[in-house]
A and B are shown apart, each in its own frame.
Chain A
Amino acid sequence: MPEPDFAPQRLGRAHDDTKDRMGTVPETPDDAVSVQIISPEGRYEPNAAAEEFLPYLERVDEDLLRRFYRDMVVIRRADAEAGHLQRQGQLALWVPSHGQEAAQVGSGHAARPQDSIFPAYREHAVGMIRGLDLLDIIRMLRGLTHGGWVPEEVGNFHLYTLVIGSQTLHATGYAMGIALDGKSGTGSPEEAEAALVYFGDGATSQGDTNEAMIWAASYQTPQVFFLQNNHWAISVPVSRQSRTPLVDRAAGFGLRSTRVDGNDVLASYAVTAKQLDDARAGRGPGFIEAITYRIGAHTTSDDPTRYREAEELAYWEARDPILRYRHHLEQRDLADGDWFRSVDQEAMDLAADLRRRTLALGTVDVGLIFDNVYAEDHPVVREQKQWLAAYEAGFGEAR
């Protein structure tokens, strides 16, 4: 290692010698095997790792097989529409999920109605599957609310959490509650509950995520950690978060762990279904690393051309989860051209409806500032709310 040079210098790119000092960052080793069921060309070709998960596909009838496709197409279209709305000044921000549809749709459908989902902020497809109106996400990103829905009313899909990793602990605590309530390990998969928590590759470096895995293993909680490794945490590649495959970390915590091709909707479904059923049966917590890719920007505020190569994007665009699954449905004769067209139409209609309803969104009552800061009466908040009302009324009188 060269002698450190402490002479004052600018921190701009030209002088950035961190790589020399710290050693260049290697690619994350990719030797861990991912469960794959459909080949990139769409053929049903389960690899050896997929074997133990295949029985879980028996639950998937033809309607559900088509539903997977429909959901992926609809969410991609809605996602694009929301991005446009942001560009047109209707939203403060949008968080694209483009590229991650198979990971989300497969896992989202694998959860049973009684399960509870703890998302980060990109899991729009999972929310939709659980019954969330996408307009609720839009309301949040338009600046009308910090929450936007009642989890119990939308399939136990909890609120988005913007502080990276925080929700992993909430999921773990919730899963401890499931166990304390005697609602896991009941012997009935139709009734027993589990929690499913989503987070990203960047989140794996957070203390909270690591603590959540420690707690989960310690209390043997009925829960599954679902890591969407989309290769980037804003502009930082996953190789900066970990020099070992992230799936290998989970084993160190004592969690059942599986790496899955996150662009294979069937694999994503089967792996999550098994992991959740194991968790609900009282066999302890599980961990899934879904290998996928964030095709879009981190958010509408981001510019990925500043940090990633066009070739990388092209590589992943060629592995598009929707196209791959379309080929699969075609090869199995599960859908024809008319049906695919009808799905496209449905997606367009839903997006148009979302746009219409976004433009119709009203303002928000100032009561929102004060009303639920505390559950019980609080003199300071009460007085400040009264003060604001009087202050604003004062302007009215002056006019």
Chain B
Amino acid sequence: MTATTWTMAKALNQGLAKALEDDDRVLLMGEDIGALGGVFRVTEGLAARFGENRVMDTPLAESGIVGTAIGLAMRGYRSVCEIQFDGFIYPAFDQITSQLAKLTARHEGSARFPIVIRVPYGGHIGAVEHHQESPEAYFAHTPGLRLVSPSTPNDAYWMIQQAIASDDPVMFFEPKSRYWPKGQVDLEAPATPLHTTRVARGGTDATVIGHGAMVSVLLQAAEVAATEGTSLEVLDLRSLSPIDYGPILRSVEKTGRLIVAQEAPGFASLGSEIAATVAERAFYALQAPVLRVSGFDTPFPPAKLESVYLPDADRVLDAVDRALDY
């Protein structure tokens, strides 16, 4: 095994480099991704290495980035668009939901739109307004898009390449607070298929599931629970659309309890969707209602309050207790 230890930012950087190397139709586009290497340095060195025709600093307009990527796709290019921060994706909402998501169907199969939209998202970084949000649900609601989110450097390295190789539009949600912790990356192991959910930690008493930065919170909660004699199974969702229900249902059959955790507000969220589907498909296996642990149904607060807003291990454990006591 050729393993190495990288941060997620480095793993993404290397994954993008590999994609640029393997296919000369792959382009990167975004704000400040060239000389600066992106505000999170994910594209560091790529413009110098592949040239500014492949790694393009664009004008500052998100709809323009996605809209021109669509035109480039019609010409056979595979663009990877970087949205600088979660809260700045909305100017591109129309091009993503009314154009990109529908164009494959509108062409009745005669054209492909293999575009990846990278979205650094989520809280825990103490940033100002519009820089800590989790907008996944808006896009999960839109047919025609695929959504994924890695939680480890290894997944980041492989999933970004798989997303680029996909012939469908893929929205790639990168948990910004996980850019810097290091982890092992296996450069040779055959990658897990893109749209699969992974068991991050086995357990028997209750299942907790989340994606992105939430996975490390869930793992922390499982550590604590273990000291209290409770065995939590932790699932890393990885694919937000489509959702890989196989591992979720298998886990619930075993534990009888499910807690869905997310940074986003809970109303009409991914967690709501998973809760509803598990209730439909595993009603008799459930020994307690599926519980959601979410951000509040409020705008993301100023940074000094983010630790109150964002679900932490204690809030997860509180839900676990409620499920076990039910």
A residues with CB within 8 A of B: 145-147, 150-152, 158-159, 161, 163, 166, 168-178, 180-181, 207-208, 211-212, 214-215, 218, 368, 371-376, 378-381
Within 8 Å CB of B68, what residues of A? 169-170, 172-173, 176, 212, 215
Bound Cα distance from A368 to B242, whole angstroms? 20
Listed stretches B57-65, B220-228, B247-255; interface member: B57-65
Indicate if the CB atoms of A169 and B53 lie closer than 8 Å. no
Interface residues of B in 76-115 (CB under 8 A from A): 76-77, 91, 94-95, 98-99, 102, 104-114
Of the A-B pairs whose beta carbons lie under 8 Å apart in the complex, a sample of 27, sorted by A's number, is: A146-B102, A146-B106, A147-B107, A147-B108, A150-B107, A158-B74, A166-B99, A169-B71, A170-B68, A170-B71, A174-B74, A174-B75, A177-B76, A180-B27, A180-B77, A181-B75, A208-B94, A211-B64, A211-B67, A214-B64, A215-B64, A375-B112, A375-B114, A375-B168, A378-B146, A378-B168, A380-B242
User: Is the Cβ of A368 less than 8 Å from the Cβ of B166?
Assistant: no
Q: Is the CB of A173 within 8 A of B108?
A: no
Contact partners of B59 in chain A: CB under 8 A: 211, 214-215, 218
A161 to B166, CA, bound (A): 25
With a cutoff of 8 Å between Cβ atoms, the chain A residues found around residue B64 in the complex are 169, 208, 211-212, 214-215
Query: Given the complex, which residues of A lie within 8 Å of B311, measured CB to CB?
Result: none
Cross-chain contact B99 with A177 (CB below 8 angstroms): no
Of B70, B94, B112, B143, which one neighbours A170 at CB under 8 angstroms?
B70
Is the beta-carbon distance between A170 and B99 smaller than 8 angstroms?
yes
The answer to whether B63 touches A169 (Cβ under 8 A) is yes
Give chain A nearest CB distance to B99 CB in angstroms. 6
A172 to B71, CA, bound (A): 7
Q: Are B71 and A208 in contact (CB under 8 A)?
A: no
Looking at the assembled complex, report how far the CB atom of B161 sits from the nearest CB atom of chain A, in whole angstroms. Answer: 15
Residue contact A173 to B63, C-beta cutoff 8 Å: no
Q: How far is the CA of A212 from the CA of B67 in the complex (A)?
A: 9
Contact A159 B106 (CB under 8 A): yes
For A376, what are the chain B residues with a Cβ–Cβ distance below 8 Å? 166-168
A373: which B residues are within 8 A, CB to CB?
Answer: 104-105, 143-144
Cβ distance B112 to chain A, nearest Cβ, rounded Å: 5
Q: State which size class the interface on B falls in.
A: 35 or more
CA distance A151 to B108 in the complex (A): 12
Q: Which of B's residues lie within 8 Å of A, judged by CB?
A: 27, 53, 58-59, 61, 63-64, 66-77, 91, 94-95, 98-99, 102, 104-114, 143-144, 146, 166-168, 242
Chain A positions within 8 Å of B102 at CB level? 146
The residue on B at minimum CB distance from A159 is: B106
The 9 A-B residue pairs with the shortest CB-CB distance, nearest first, are A173-B71, A169-B67, A177-B75, A173-B68, A211-B64, A174-B71, A375-B167, A170-B71, A372-B109
With known contacts A158-B74, A163-B98, A214-B64, A379–B242 Cβ distance under 8 A: yes
Shortest distance from the beta carbon of B168 to any chain A beta carbon, whole Å? 5
- Known interface pairs A170-B74, A211-B59. Does A180 touch B53 (Cβ–Cβ under 8 Å)? yes
* Nearest chain A CB to B155 CB, angstrom units: 19
**Across-interface contacts of A214 in B (CB, < 8 A):** 59, 61, 64
Contact B67 A170 (CB under 8 A): yes
Question: A159: which B residues are within 8 A, CB to CB?
Answer: 106-107
A174 to B75, CA, bound (A): 6
**For the complex, what is the distance from the CA of A145 to the CA of B102, rounded to whole Å?**
12
B71 touching A175, Cβ below 8 Å: yes
Q: Which residues of B contact A176 (CB under 8 A)?
A: 68, 71-72, 75
CA distance A161 to B94 in the complex (A): 13
A207 touching B91 by the CB < 8 A rule? yes
Chain A residue nearest to B143 (CB atoms) is A373
Determine if A147 and B106 form an interchain contact, defined as CB atoms under 8 angstroms apart. yes
> A181 vs B25: C-alpha distance in the bound complex, in angstroms?
10
Q: Which residue of B lies closest to A379 (CB)?
A: B242
Alpha-carbon distance between A328 and B53 when the two chains are bound, in angstroms: 49
Across the interface, name the chain B residue whose C-beta is closest to A156: B74
Nearest CB on A from B75, distance (A): 3
- Taking a contact as CB atoms closer than 8 A, the residue among B70, B75, B114, B166 that contacts A169 in the complex is B70
Q: Which residues of the partner chain A approach B105 to less than 8 Å between Cβ atoms?
A: 146-147, 372-373
A175-B64 Cα distance, complex, nearest whole Å: 13
Question: Which of A158, A170, A175 has the most chain B CB atoms closer than 10 A to its own CB?
Answer: A170
Compute how far the CA of A380 lies from the CA of B27 in the bound complex, rounded to whole angstroms.
Answer: 30
Residues of A within 8 A of B95 (CB): 166, 169, 208
Given A169-B64, A172-B68, 5 other A-B residues pairs in contact with their CB atoms under 8 A: A174-B71, A214-B64, A371-B108, A373-B105, A375-B167
